[in-house]
Amino acid sequence: MSEQQAESLPGVDRAVELGLTKPEYARIVELIAREPNEVELAMFSLLWSEHCAYKHSKKVLRRLPTEGDRLLMGVGENAGAVEVAGLAVAFKVESHNHPSAVEPFQGAATGVGGILRDVIALGARPIAMLNSLRFGHPSSPRSRWLLDRAVAGIGHYGNSIGVATVGGEIHFDPSYESNCLINAMCVGIADPDRLMRCAATGVGNRVILFGALTGRDGIGGASVLASAELGDDDADKRPTVQIGDPFAEKKVLEASLELIDADLLVALQDLGAAGLTSSASEMAAQGGVGLDIDVANVPLREQGMEPFEIMVSESQERMLAIVEPSKVAAVLEVCERWELLASDIGEVTEGDRMRILVGDNVVGDIPVTTLVDDCPLYDLAPAPPEHGLYPAPPADLPEEADHRDTLIALLSGANIASRRPVFQQYDQIVQARTVRRPDEADAAVLALPVGENGIRPAIAVSIDGNARRVAANPEGGALEAVLECAANLACVGAEPLGLTNCLNFGNPEKPHVAWQLINSVEGIAVGCEALGIPVVGGNVSLYNEGPDGPILPTPVIGMVGEMPDATKTSSSGFLTDGQAVALVGPFSPNLVSSELAARRGQAPQGELPSLDISAVIAAHHAVRDGVRSGAIQTAHDISEGGLGVALAECTAVAGIGCDVTLPEFTDAALFGESPGQGFVIAGDAAAIAAIPGARVVGTTGGGNLVVSAEDGASFSVPVAEVQAARDGGLTAYLP
């Protein structure tokens, strides 16, 4: 059916209102051989949305490597999992960008709740949260409001449910003014033999919905809000933002794990985007079965809800389980004990039909494959931009500033200053697993149970991104983001095992955004292949644009690594006087799209230099092995702000200075960036000298950061001044 023929269909205008295109609606009519009714159209509008169907990105994502020796569960499940010390470590990152731009407290809070349930659905107990946040320029009242309320929402949910928030990043750029980014990552642990899949199986098995009541909150969130650009009517979209209850989620968590431990479930799925429609149809598709869902049995928060509202509600804190008939009573008893509503709402059927009923009346009947698999996948039309896409940020650091003043200005800037004022709003140590907090090391370290050898292993987790570098060179910048995350793990002695990503981009129908997306995915794939790790899952968030244009292309990388011994780790700061300070890695600093370039009012553009990826990986190995052996006691990667900032940050942790001499004394040498490729390390002089590739440049000690050049030029800053600049930079933008 042509688009012109689709124009004559009576329901086409309503379909367009719900986010479908006219050709997509025509395709639906052809597939089911009739026009969909109200319930069916609502279901199609959600499952064929960009947020659920990935119709502009699924083909691109096939480039990512998804297999690995330690992989236990990968793409296609609620979250991925890798094996560490006999345990399954489950993890995933997802976005809640548009809801947070409209209502930041609940948007961020429910983003945390949603990613927690993804991990719970695998049968894993969440042990840690991380987040990656992006806002407009910090001088903007809107950006400060979004920061304050989003951080409050994250803290409210994570602290209430008892999951430590152990790390994250915050970045400010004018491109995020209308469209902030809230990416949340969760890590959990489970018995590998108890991992739960989402596939519905067993004709005659029952469909059990348990958790919170179903209301009208969140209706249309995946299509009306998440799969369209933001605009001047954002306030009108607040009813599409879900409302979270972390205390209800805690009960859902404990009940889910008890049900799995008691072997009472066949499959489990959380209700997130598109609510019952998505969870039920995806479970049916994974198992190759049909489902009957009786919405008359769904416990409701509001009277008079229509069947389509029940099917697409995104009310939070709900799970869907497949249960053998003989075990239904036991499932209901467990849920009652946890004070959770649980209802038998349907049955697994033979065939390929998703039937929606109200008692005996069928109000929707669609092939499962049509809902889940038949959405058209679009080929992108990539083209590099003909000119700079992004305006230059406001300049506030003059080029004539000397190196000392430049360093202090960078340290006190909102993009580099200590995140402690934010991290202090999060419980970082609940569950007593946290070995290294976010302000103590480049990656968080979480202890696991003691092994049979009496040694306590650990995992390290990190989340990173550098959108300005990606804007300059999507493939090179995304590769650097992968390497930077791996470098963070190396700094605490961890070996990377798997990666999750959240791909935040503008409108993919625009050639330059398509070009950014395709090349960024290529960079991530190259990085994973070099590290020998799989992508275990993730999220794509597109249409991140406001009235002033698109966000910077922002692929966010989350990574999990293994540490054989939780006690064999390092600090990101100098720990004692008299230790050797050295540089490791093929660090080739440049000012392209650097933080210094931004502060000087330069747009994110230019060529990134090529890198020797094998030499970078070798440096990662050298640092990791040195930390594990105890030779390296301080390890810090060189990233935003370059070497000068890295040295200053090393002095700020414990208030111990250093005296170093560098071959060059240029802006590029001191403040140029090359993420993931270089490290500052410190330790006993003899031990440091034995680290492959280490170049000793000075010693620790004293109360000053002293940086000299071989030609005699130098500057000195009291460590107390370094600490004051770094500690106060973000506080100025918080209430």
Place of tokens 């509202």: 309
Q: Which of 35, 197, 69 is nearest to 498 (CA)?
A: 69
Residue type, 593: S
Give catalytic status of residue 512 as yes or no.
no
Reading across the β-sheet that carries 580-584, which strands appear in turn?
634-637, 679-683, 580-584, 695-700, 658-662, 704-709, 714-718
Q: Which of 608, 603, 617 is nearest to 677 (CA)?
A: 617
Identified catalytic residue from 56, 96, 137, 512: 96
> The tokens of 506 are what?
């503008």
Phi, psi of 78 (to 5 degrees): -65, -35
Q: Which helix (H) or strand (E) element contains residue 522?
A: helix 511-531
- Give the β-pairing of 71-73 and 434-436: unpaired
- Torsional sign, CA 128, 255, 195, 245: negative
Cα 29 to Cα 44, 368, 378, distances in angstroms: 11, 15, 19
Give catalytic status of residue 171 as yes or no.
no
Task: Extract the runs of DSSP E, i.e. beta strands, from 663-711.
Answer: 679-683, 695-700, 704-709
Q: How far apart are CA 112 and CA 606, in angstroms?
A: 36
Q: How far apart are CA 221 and CA 274, in angstroms?
A: 7
- Torsional sign, CA 406, 410, 412, 733: positive
Rounded to the nearest 10°, the torsion over CA 42, 43, 45, 50 is 150
Which residues are paired to 93 by β-bridges? 185
Crossing angle of the two packed helices 719-728 and 642-654, in degrees rounded to 10: 100
Cα 353 to Cα 45, 281, 350, 495, distances in angstroms: 18, 9, 8, 45
Rounded to 5°, angle at Cα 65 from 61 and 67: 130
Place of tokens 């697994």: 348
> The tokens of 485 are what?
């995350």
Crossing angle of the two packed helices 141-161 and 104-120, in degrees rounded to 10: 40
SS3 letters across 241-254: CCCCCHHHHHHHHH
Query: Residue 306: how many CB atoms within 10 A of its CB?
Result: 14
> The tokens of 194 are what?
């108890």
Reading across the β-sheet that carries 458-464, which strands appear in turn?
434-436, 444-447, 458-464, 554-563, 495-504, 535-541
Q: How far apart are CA 325 and CA 83, in angstroms?
A: 33
> Residue 732, CB half-sphere, CA atoms under 13 Å: how many?
14
- Torsional sign, CA 140, 145, 146, 150: positive
Rounded to 5°, angle at Cα 229 from 598 and 215: 125
Q: How far apart are CA 372 and CA 41, in angstroms?
A: 14
Q: Which helix (H) or strand (E) element contains residue 98?
A: helix 97-102
Go through the chain and tell me how many residues it has. 735
Q: Which of 631, 623, 725 is nearest to 680 (CA)?
A: 623
Residue type, 89: V
Q: How far apart are CA 141 and CA 146, in angstroms?
A: 9
Q: Which of 583, 602, 601 is nearest to 674 (CA)?
A: 583
Catalytic residues, by residue number, are 51, 96
